[in-house]
Amino acid sequence: MFTQEVIDDLVEQSIVKGKEYISNEHLLNAESLLKQSRRVAPNNTKVMELLGLTLVKQVKYEDAVDIYSELLDHEPENLDGINNLAYSYSNLGKRDEAVKLLREGIRLNPNKDSFWYHLAIQYKEQGDFEKAFALYDEAILLIPNSSDLYYHYGVALSEYGDYKKAIEQYNNALDLDPSHAPSHWNRSLTLLLTKQYKTGFDENEWRFRQFTNMMKIKVRFHGKTDWIATPGKGSVLFYNEQGVGDLLQMIRYLPQVKALGYETIVEVPTNLFDLISQCEGVDKVVVARSMKVQDFDYVASINSLPRLFGTTFENIPNKIPYLTPTGKMDQKEFKDYDGKLKVGICWAGSPYHATDHLRSCQLKEFADINKLSNIKLFSLQKETGKRFHVGSGVVDLTEGADDMAVVDMSDLMHDFNHTAAIIDQLDLIITVDTAVAHLAGAMGKKCWVLVPALPDWRWSAEGTQTPWYPSITIFRQKRGEQWKDVLSRVLNELKK
């Protein structure tokens, strides 16, 4: 039998180890260890706090609610517990519960800035921007030295569409803390969104201090010389620290690198190997993380190329197409639909994207388009079914679409080269902001892209065209609109 003293010592050791696991993003290990500790110390509030944090970081909000609720039963005035329980409720869409908790938190400690900006976020997410702004103004008077308050105020203003004031708030945050990475990062996105590319791309380099995975990339190439866009010799390894769409967009710069005298090596995931191998300006394609640092001379993020080449909104390189499939898709897949407009659709992006809940929609939004007699829809969607959306909980992307006779092409989409071959045979692509949009645009294919009210920077804040992809037309969601409103405009355009 273990004495209580021994048990207490083991639990303290597990708390220390749990913090280490969380710091290193070994969240499953942390969760397992802390759950074991709870078996012998079920009322230890330090263990509860850490376990709750581990669950939140894994987007296990329902489990986190149970743990934090139990924590508050033991310590009703645990401020971090109140904050994290409210955060978990918020992400599950239970905003009334979150508001109640946050107001209690403010009553207990009005100087804790996170209570204020989390409360403002609840109202902002419900479309009540005026109440959110009023809360930020009140909080800043009370806590004038919080860079986080100014930062979150800037985010709210960006979502409201007041980009000038958003930048002012990011500037206020940086006046207080010049190294506040979230403000640098979001200021860069707002600058790019408003076509201020020079300063925007400079600021965008702060992503390496904002995101843990990007910091790890820098460590991976520690000691390797960063490539700069000047004439020279040697080989350059280009890596992509973001999504597939970013790689498809930025690969256009490789001919300019070649023109400066360098051999180009591009790291890609396996599903892009064949497609990128035939791209102009690419000398060698390797599977991501397969190269040793001694096998190349210089290194650069492919996402830094616009900055390195001094890209402005007016001089974006857009020699289209710069991507084409190697081989053709068998015509038998399409012959039954001769005489109809063949339209490829994609209604959801990566479930791991931070704004997936904003930029993805459900298949049923295409139902009225599917009813048009002269059109046949082809699904280019790889991941379907259920996923978690912040603020909504679990969402089924195909719910309510059982009677839609859409041709499913997913079994033929073995990689992006095969997807490109399918797109090549279609007349039009209609997609949300995902890799399919970039692929169609890089191929010069006619494509309609559906973007949320706060779009990704590359689609700009306004307009129906983009110099990145001349063949793309942008359909924008207005603030307060649902996706059905955007798709109704698409439907009207198709009827024309």
Q: What is the pLDDT of residues 432-444, one digit of tens each?
A: 999 999 999 999 9
Reported as a single tens digit per residue, the pLDDT across 264-278 is 999 999 999 999 999
Predicted local distance difference test score (pLDDT) of residue 472: 98
Reported as a single tens digit per residue, the pLDDT across 326-366 is 988 777 778 889 899 999 999 999 888 888 889 999 999 99
- On the question of pLDDT at 27 being above 60, the answer is yes
Q: How far apart are CA 117 and CA 222, in angstroms?
A: 37
Q: How far apart are CA 303 and CA 239, in angstroms?
A: 8
Residue 17 phi, psi (nearest 5) = -65, -35
Q: How far apart are CA 262 and CA 259, in angstroms?
A: 7
Predicted local distance difference test score (pLDDT) of residue 33: 93
Average pLDDT, integer, range 288-307 = 92
- On the question of pLDDT at 66 being above 80, the answer is yes
Which of the residue ranges 128-132, 341-345, 394-398, 483-487 would you say has the lowest mean pLDDT? 394-398
> Who wins on pLDDT, 405 or 260?
260
- On the question of pLDDT at 6 being above 70, the answer is no
Residue type, 169: Q
User: Which residues lie below 8 Å from residue 334, measured CB to CB, with a gap of 6+?
Assistant: 342, 425
| Best CA proximity match to 461, nearest among 132, 172, 126, 196 | 196
Calculate the average pLDDT of the chain: 93
- Sheet of 472-476: strand order equals 407-408, 375-379, 341-346, 428-432, 447-451, 472-476
Residue 146 in tokens: 């919080």
Predicted local distance difference test score (pLDDT) of residue 314: 95
- Whether the CA torsion 313, 252, 326, 420 is positive or negative: it is negative
Predicted local distance difference test score (pLDDT) of residue 262: 98
Domains in the chain, start-ordered, CATH in brackets? 4-204 (1.25.40.10), 223-308 (3.40.50), 331-495 (3.40.50.2000)
Predicted local distance difference test score (pLDDT) of residue 211: 79
- On the question of pLDDT at 2 being above 80, the answer is no
Quote the pTM value.
0.92
Average pLDDT, integer, range 426-437 = 97
Which of the residue ranges 184-198, 392-406, 421-435, 436-450 would you say has the lowest mean pLDDT? 392-406
The SS3 call for residue 108 is: helix
Share of the chain above pLDDT 70, in %: 99
Average pLDDT, integer, range 26-49 = 93
Residue 231 phi, psi (nearest 5) = -60, 145
Under the banding of pLDDT at 50, 70 and 90, the label for residue 1 is low
Beta strands 375-379; 407-408: pairing state: parallel
Predicted local distance difference test score (pLDDT) of residue 361: 94
Q: How far apart are CA 280 and CA 214, in angstroms?
A: 27
Predicted local distance difference test score (pLDDT) of residue 120: 98
Reported as a single tens digit per residue, the pLDDT across 387-407 is 888 877 888 889 998 899 899
Which of the residue ranges 97-111, 118-132, 164-178, 323-337 would you say has the lowest mean pLDDT? 323-337
CB 182 within 8 A of CB 166: no
Residue 51 in tokens: 């376990």
Scanning the structure block, which residue is given the tokens 């708030």?
Answer: 169
The answer, yes or no, to whether the previous bond of 321 is cis (omega within 30 of 0) is yes
